[in-house]
């Protein structure tokens, strides 16, 4: 084979390899983002279910609060690679559920971690075409 053609073929093969790696990386990143959103949605759903139970007059449940805190912290870890500011808010939401009595309603509003705000964040992220 002529050296110039061989060099050209090698360069094209390398470019194809780089392109394929990039596309795989993008697919992996999209999968990770979807998992982060699923973690967030799980935290929101479990939180809403627990709040609904409290609103029906059921007693506070430290096991449920621990589960909700863990789900929010998992969502924070999953989101950290995509949006550190949101990950921090999810972490704060988990911290709230670790010790809800130490937070006031004003603290929750100032931290922007009300369940309605978190639900809206999730909805916006799901609608966003990343």
User: Is residue 94 within 8 Å of residue 72, measured between CB atoms?
Assistant: yes
Containing structural domain, residue 97: 31-127
**Residue 22 domain-assigned?**
no
How many domains is the chain built from?
1
Q: How confident is the model at residue 83 (pLDDT cuts 50, 70, 90)?
A: very high
Domain membership flag for residue 13: no
In a domain, 97, yes or no: yes
- The mean-pLDDT minimum among 17-21, 33-37, 70-74 falls in 17-21
- Percent of the chain whose pLDDT exceeds 70: 76
Say if 91 falls within a structural domain.
yes
CA distance 106 to 128: 30
- Spatial neighbors of 23 by CB under 8 A, at least 6 apart, are none
Other residues' Cβ atoms within 10 Å of the Cβ of residue 127 = 7
51 within domain boundaries = yes
Identify whether 23 is part of a domain: no
Residue 103 pLDDT exceeds 90: yes
Position 7 in a domain = no
Does a structural domain hold residue 41?
yes
């Amino acid at each position: 084979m002529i050296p110039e053609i061989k060099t050209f073929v090698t360069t094209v093969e390398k470019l194809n390899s780089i392109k394929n790696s990039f596309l795989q990386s993008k697919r992996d990143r999209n999968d990770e983002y979807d998992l982060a959103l699923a973690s967030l949605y799980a935290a929101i759903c479990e939180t809403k279910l627990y709040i609904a139970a409290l609103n029906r007059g059921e007693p506070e449940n430290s096991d449920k609060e621990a589960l909700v805190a863990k789900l929010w912290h998992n969502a924070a870890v999953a989101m950290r690679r995509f949006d550190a500011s949101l990950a921090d808010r999810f972490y704060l939401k988990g911290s709230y559920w670790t010790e809800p009595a130490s937070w006031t309603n004003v603290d929750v509003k100032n931290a922007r971690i009300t369940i309605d705000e978190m639900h809206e964040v999730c909805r916006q992220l799901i609608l966003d075409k990343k």
